[in-house]
Amino acid sequence: MSFELPPPPQEAGSDVVIATLWRSATFDAKYYLSQYPDVAASGVDPLVHYVRHGARENRNPNAHFETHYYLATNPDVAQCDINPLYHFCTDGWKELRKPCKGFDVWWYWSTYLDPASDAVNPLAHFLHIGEAAGALPRPQGPFAQGTQLAWLPERPVKRICLFAGYDPDGLVDDYVIDYLRALSAHADVYYLADCVMQDGELLKLRGIVKDAWAGRHQRYDFGSYSLLANSLVGWDTIGQYDELLLANDSCYLVTNFDAVFEQMDKRRCDWWGLQATKGIAKTKAEPSNQFKQPVGMNTVRASMLDRFEEDDTYDFLIGSYFVAYRKPVMSDPGFRKLLNKVTQQPNKQNVILKYEIGITRYLITQGFVLDTFISSLYPFHPIYSNQHFKLLEAGFPVFKRYLLTANHYQVPKLYRWKEKILACAPEANVQTMERNLTRVTDPQVLERNLYIGTSRLADDEQVPTALLTDVEFIEADHRVPKYDHWWAFPVCAFSGVFSGNERAVFEEVKNDESIFKIILTRGKPVSLEGSNVLVVPLESPEGQYYLLRAKILFIKHTPTRNLVYPLSSELHDLINLWHGIPLKRIGYASLDQQNRRDSIAQEHARCRAVISSSSIDTMAMAAAFYPLSYNGVWQTGLPRNDFILRDFEKLPKDLQAESRKLEHVLAGRGLVLFMPTFRNGAGNTCYQFTETELKQLEHWLQEHDLVLGVREHMADHSGSYAEQLQRLGTLDLSDAHYPNVEILYRSARLLITDYSSCFIDFMLTGKPMVSFAYDYEYYAGVERGLFYELEHVFPGPVCTNFQALHNALMKNESIIRPEIDIDYEWKKKVFFEWCDDFNSARLIERVKNLMN
């Protein structure tokens, strides 16, 4: 099919990108000129402008290709600096990448074009023919399903099964015979193997299946289903049955199918499978796939199917390794068309997207009611995780072999697989499974897969002597094993100090022999007590080696800032401990970060969880750490607050030494702790004290035998306040001298801050505080924004100018000898669910649950 093209630009003769886009018929010059009058005024050919300038400026080449969207959803294209429309026209559409959120390539392709042919770019067809003819760019809902009109077969059900096989050695394995014998008790089975069988192998199936064939077609399981339906068995024969079952030999039989068919024969539905999945490998980190608990299929059918259509990649599916279609679906022309038109694909992902997901989606959009034997939608891919064993406990009849042969999601401790299967199904023939497993899997690969999460493979591995490049690091990350008892603690990316939440977590487990603690330093020495502890530079071959193998990582900023390397969040669990309870807006919610929201969301999506200290704080952190879901915010309390409330003698020795050092410097004087927050302009935006104001402060300090200690924000290296206030005899309380701010809270009599969340932690001491909010209106309304109105949550005077600050210090004796305000305790409860020293213990319990 060809489209009418405008005359080519002169540059098309020498520029392959321009020539390709001109021939693709996807560049709409009229649209481009109407949207961008400056291009029309320049006299430059619009296509040439788009290639040379427009794509980099995020301009759109037609009404249904959004340049920014395509680059944001395809970071590999953005990183390679390829013209996005050129990539879409040469490769992207064939890989089913969407040109915009409102146009779905495969749905349009399979609905209006020949799904077996890639002769026509679906977007070009829509632009030139489809849109004018009333074709839809994507399915139109609603898709919620009610079961009252769904099909219920008469008993007994007459069932046919099309079975897809494959064996690398051309054998019909014993586990396949066991599987088919159990299946044939409920269906007439027709078998086709996508391989050349050894002589006599198909004879093993005599008396078990109705007929059997073998031959190489290289179209995966759906190729076998298609050939069986379209030619070897035929739709006329299939039409004589009540139910069409598709199954393959990718699973081991755990128990017979009696319970499955008995239960499903009673269910009113048009089609069903053993279980449903939301998410595939490429979409694991998407917000819609971050739910933690199973969701009932009734809820999925009633309210979630429409939302799945909003995802950038549609990834809800019923597993095609065992799925049944009843009369209404079997006779549907669209269903038959999709199954008939299965063609060879360049990779397995396209097979999943086009056929496994594609048929699922088609049937949903056509209103066919689905159901599953497992009555809940589990998080992500349950048959490729430890959730698989929970399915077996619920009566799941098969075990997916790929979990053991590939273990591509790094499930730990699979060496116990036989024990776990037998615990659920004592009659399971695990010996037959094991014989097949060892025959078809490389021994070293199998060893690595089964012992991920143990130290068994670490003993004889050699630490490299040279740093890996980013490309090498990514490859190694997907290759090397992960150990869930290896916990990595990168030090602060700003100060290089090991303190705060991550230090408190370490202290809680430092003597736990079962956990290997890896401290990753950044230039400053770290000395710690504990057993099974390693201290190693982050930016070193050794640091890379141990980081790659650590399953659990504790960070306090963004993954990129803390970890430096392109570590996969799919293979590691990143627990973000952050560095405080936020008052000011942070991350995705910050006013000054709106133009960086996409990159911020990408960073947050890499985290498995972030912690919070109360129900209200959980809501703030959920907003700040979008797209992490509410369930991804763990309400455990902040570990570092254990150091504020714990008895002195139970503190780590270096914290005790820090405290004694401070008391010696204070020499009996009271400490006034000044902790301003970070501002974007750093030194240029801090308050400039006048000579008179400095004298007033000096007099007040001397009158009450106080000394001012200054601790500026860890990210502010200007030292502006320290420089201004040094004439008052101030103490330098920076990280360099006092790494653990909790010691300062314990010793201080009074806190002066502005919008720093340090005041929230300081509330645990019950001591007084003052907010010097000299730029409150600007900071709250322009620079960052606040999660809470300061006056509503700050348990002390809020002063918007120096005179108000001085008055608060001079006139309010309770500042020095406090009697707690009546609302102090109430405000504390806003931020703290617990006021104890068990925050670290609660967090560690949550982390250990990930290991089980």
Mean pLDDT of all residues in 600-613: 91
What are the extents of the domains in the chain? 10-130, 156-417, 470-642, 646-831
Q: For position 661, what pLDDT does the model report?
A: 94
Segment (H or E) for 828: helix 824-831
Q: For position 698, what pLDDT does the model report?
A: 93
- Strand, coil or helix: what is 542? helix
Q: For position 555, what pLDDT does the model report?
A: 96
Categorize the per-residue pLDDT at 32 as very low, low, confident or very high, splitting at 50, 70 and 90: very high
Bridging pattern class, strands 159-165 and 188-193: parallel
Asked if 638 and 613 count as a contact pair (C-beta separation under 8 A), the reply is yes
Residue found under tokens 């003052």? 770
- Strand, coil or helix: what is 519? strand
Name the nearest CA neighbour of 605 among 577, 588, 625, 590. Answer: 625
Cis peptide before 142 (omega within 30 of 0): yes
Higher pLDDT pick, 743 / 789: 743
CATH number attached to the domain at 646-831? 3.40.50.12580
Residue 285: pLDDT above 80?
Answer: no
Q: What is the pLDDT of residues 691-724, one digit of tens each?
A: 999 999 999 999 999 999 999 876 555 557 878 8
Q: Helix H segments across 113-271?
A: 122-125, 174-184, 220-227, 235-238, 258-264
The answer to whether the 156-417 and 646-831 domains have the same CATH topology is no
Q: Looking at 200-214, 227-241, 438-452, 813-827, which range is the least confident one? A: 813-827
Name the nearest CA neighbour of 748 among 728, 726, 766, 772. Answer: 766
For the whole model, what pTM was predicted? 0.62
Q: How far apart are CA 427 and CA 434, in angstroms?
A: 15
Written as six digits, the tokens of 435 are 């014989």
Mean pLDDT of all residues in 564-590: 84
Q: Write down the number of H helices and E strands in the chain.
A: 41, 26
Name the nearest CA neighbour of 60 among 24, 92, 32. Answer: 32
Q: What percent of the chain is modeled with pLDDT above 70?
A: 94
Q: What is the pLDDT of residues 369-381, one digit of tens each?
A: 999 999 999 877 8
Q: For position 291, what pLDDT does the model report?
A: 81
Residue 814: pLDDT above 50?
Answer: no
Q: How far apart are CA 628 and CA 634, in angstroms?
A: 11
Q: How far apart are the first and last CA of the chain?
A: 56
Residues 6+ apart with CB under 8 A from 595: none
Bridging pattern class, strands 316-318 and 276-278: antiparallel
Q: For position 13, what pLDDT does the model report?
A: 81
Measured CA distances, 280 to 22, 286, 381, 391, 561 (Å): 35, 10, 7, 18, 28
Q: Looking at 180-189, 456-465, 510-519, 667-676, which range is the least confident one? A: 456-465
The values of phi and psi at residue 276, to 5°, are -105, 155
- Strand, coil or helix: what is 636? coil
**How open is the CA angle 739-745-746, to the nearest 5 degrees?**
105
Q: For position 783, what pLDDT does the model report?
A: 55
Asked if 669 and 707 count as a contact pair (C-beta separation under 8 A), the reply is yes
Phi-psi region of 667 (alpha: psi -120 to 50; beta: other; left: phi over 0): left
Residue 460: pLDDT above 70?
Answer: no
Q: For position 265, what pLDDT does the model report?
A: 95
Q: For position 709, what pLDDT does the model report?
A: 94
Asked if 844 and 508 count as a contact pair (C-beta separation under 8 A), the reply is yes
Measured CA distances, 518 to 115, 530, 542, 612 (Å): 52, 11, 11, 24
Q: Which CATH architecture best describes the domain 470-642? A: 3-Layer(aba) Sandwich (3.40)
Helices 430-440, 417-424: inter-axial angle, 10-degree rounding = 150
Bridging pattern class, strands 483-490 and 550-555: parallel
Classify domain 156-417 at the CATH class level: alpha beta
Q: Helix H segments across 219-371?
A: 220-227, 235-238, 258-264, 297-299, 305-308, 327-330, 333-340, 348-351, 357-365
- Strand, coil or helix: what is 470? helix
- Strand, coil or helix: what is 611? strand
Average pLDDT, the chain: 90
Measured CA distances, 560 to 107, 427, 813 (Å): 36, 49, 47
Q: Is the dihedral of CA 9, 15, 16, 17 positive or negative?
A: negative
Q: For position 192, what pLDDT does the model report?
A: 98
| Beta bridge partners of residue 707, listed in sequence order | 671
Q: How far apart are CA 364 and CA 141, in angstroms?
A: 10
Q: How far apart are CA 791 and CA 768, in angstroms?
A: 15
Q: For position 631, what pLDDT does the model report?
A: 85
Q: For position 678, what pLDDT does the model report?
A: 67
Name the nearest CA neighbour of 505 among 484, 481, 530. Answer: 530
Residue 123: pLDDT above 80?
Answer: yes
Name the nearest CA neighbour of 524 among 678, 829, 739, 722. Answer: 739
Q: How far apart are CA 104 and CA 106, in angstroms?
A: 6
Residue 688: pLDDT above 60?
Answer: yes
Asked if 254 and 430 count as a contact pair (C-beta separation under 8 A), the reply is no
